[in-house]
Amino acid sequence: MKKCLSLLFVLALMTSVSFAQEKKVVATKDAPQPIGPYSQAIKAGGFVFASGQIALDPATGKLIEGDIKAQTERVLKNLSAVLAAAGSSMDRVVRTTVFLKNISDFPAMNEVYGQFFKNEPPSRSTVQVAALPRDALLEIDVVALQ
């Protein structure tokens, strides 16, 4: 009986380890299609790793017009769509990285960002960068729980 239970335990452990090592590509038409060789997100190990989003309109694939507030809102809506396709949500985000073309845009970006992360906001890094794809004003990536 003990051998049987031990064998069952080992099989269960091996099964859970193999599931934890699988990865799955996430794709949705509700967010902009990748503009390079990358996935919108990857699900692995109980997490969703969403690629950085810039303020592309999902319908046209073009950068939206507007200031940092408008672009921040579009980026976060795009990320919301990717997370929804992965079976997650903005409430389950544990980490973000914000890349700003101009660090002086931080207060305006932060105002919009705060509307998407009201309760228990995730950890975050924010950095200024020299340039972003399509001359966007910002890019944000996230890691969320599945």
pLDDT of residue 4: 43
Checking if the pLDDT of 5 tops 80, the result is no
Sign of CA pseudo-dihedral 60, 37, 71, 83? positive
List, for residues 80-136, the tens digit of each pLDDT value.
999 999 999 999 999 999 999 999 999 999 999 999 999 999 999 999 999 999 999
pLDDT of residue 21: 75
pLDDT of residue 20: 55
Cα separation, 141 vs 146, in Å, equals 15
Cα separation, 68 vs 42, in Å, equals 27
Q: How is domain 23-145 classified at the CATH fold level? A: 60s Ribosomal Protein L30; Chain: A; (3.30.1330)
Mean per-residue pLDDT, 41-64: 98
Encoded amino acid at 51, one letter: S
pTM: 0.86
Mean per-residue pLDDT, 28-45: 96
Q: How many CB atoms lie within 10 A of CB 45?
A: 12
**Domain chopping of the chain, boundaries:** 23-145
pLDDT of residue 19: 53
